[in-house]
Amino acid sequence: MRIIVHTGKGGVGKTSISAATALRCAEMGLRTIVISTDTAHSLADSLDVKIGPEPVLLADNLWAQEVDARYSMDKYWGRIQNYMLEVLSSRGGVQNIVAEEVTILPGLEEGAHLLWINKYANEGEFDVLIVDAAPTAETLRLLSLPDTSRWWFQRVMSLMRGAGKILRPLSKPLIGADLPDSDTLNSIDGLFNTLDKVRLLLSDPENSSLRLVVNPERMVIKETQRTYTYLNLYGYAVDAVLVNRVIPPEVTDPYFDAWKQQQAENLSFISEAFGVLPVMKAPLFEQEMGGFDNLRRLADALYGERNPAEMMTRGHSHQIESDGQDGYYLIVPLPFAEKGDLDLYRSADELTLRVGPYRRNIVLPYALWNLDIENARFEQSRLRIHFVRGSGAARSDNHGAAARTASR
């Protein structure tokens, strides 16, 4: 199954492009489902049909779904929520309706969306999955969830399993409920294993592509550049930039002259800034892009005769190269990043890389475990981290400090 995720700043036209892309794939004979992960759903409005939290067949080869986080968690994570509800309801002063609301743990709302992606990938019922993602910030939280949750999850689960037998008799008097039993812990374990599987699926360019939707406006382009940096940080392959609402040449009213000049400059900037990524353009149409007929026009403008499910360009998130001796370079592309925003820390078999407010833990391959970080250089939008052989004592003491200093 091919997965295509459309993301970008709110209001740029992601939903219309997602719907048009799905319709084009379906009419090319590919069994296609388009899902919306935005809490403010507008996919049904774009398709001009009623859809809900389960897939709805709209036409030959075309299904649509607006993912509802509460519905998804009730359906798939009932055991976890029931335990949380028991704990909160047992505390005096917490009403049932309030307890039900706060059982949505931070991150689980985003996790509900990822679970559907995993479901469709495992079932193999569809050829193409189109994701109409939420605006940029929410999408970054969604895609970074497997990375950001792994650290605390591994440690909490280890503590719960190790200390559970000792603390379980004391838990009822202290928190008003028993510690989670093995079935509940297994459910939590399964949840995070699923998130890891989806993370691997979405970061594999053979299976998945992220596409940046942008309007030819400088503020939108700047945010899209930052998004591109963060997606590279987390290892997600971006294979195209889709520019929406370009004023067409047939608009000759002098009122639009300044707009057209500004758009021309911004389009040139987009082509230069995003390098090898193909740039596809759609005009500002004379009406809203709702309903199948208008969506076909949008798909024609973007793709022509091309299959939207194809990989538009091939890229990679990070790579390892030999230095020709006993060491290696770990190379992480970070387009548009600023050197002063980078921070790097080594701990055992993990490398923590921070860019601005976002952080990623890279699990190092075995070949790098016993090597020191000699230096890290940020050149030509790529972070090159040099691993070399060194003394074990110095390595354990200096991993963090050396990496931090080198990244500056």
> Average pLDDT, whole number, for the chain?
81
pTM above 0.95, yes or no: no
Which tens digits make up the pLDDT trace of 24-68?
999 999 999 999 988 778 999 999 999 989 999 999 999 999 988
Is the CB of residue 148 less than 8 Å from the CB of residue 362?
no
| 213: pLDDT strictly greater than 80 | yes
Q: Which amino acid is at 220?
A: V
Q: Are strands 128-132 and 2-7 parallel, antiparallel or unpaired?
A: parallel
State the pLDDT at residue 163: 55
Average pLDDT over residues 384-400: 62
| 19: pLDDT strictly greater than 80 | yes
State the pLDDT at residue 405: 36
| 74: pLDDT strictly greater than 60 | yes
Long-range contacts of 268-271 (CB under 8 A, 24+ apart): 269/218, 269/221, 270/214, 270/216, 270/221, 270/241, 270/243
Task: Using the CB atoms, write b or e for 258-275: b if 16+ within 10 Å.
Answer: eebeebeebbeebeebbe
Long-range contacts of 48-54 (CB under 8 A, 24+ apart): 48/290, 48/291, 48/292
Please, what are the domains in the chain? 1-316 (3.40.50.300), 319-406 (2.60.40.790)
DSSP 102: H
Any idea which of 91-95, 212-216, 219-223 has the lowest mean pLDDT? 91-95
Q: Which residues contact 72 (CB under 8 A, 6 or more apart)?
A: 53, 112, 113, 115, 116
Q: How many CB atoms lie within 10 A of CB 250?
A: 7
For residues 177 and 163, what is the distance between their CA atoms, to the nearest angstrom?
Answer: 16
Q: What are the tokens at 225?
A: 């550049």
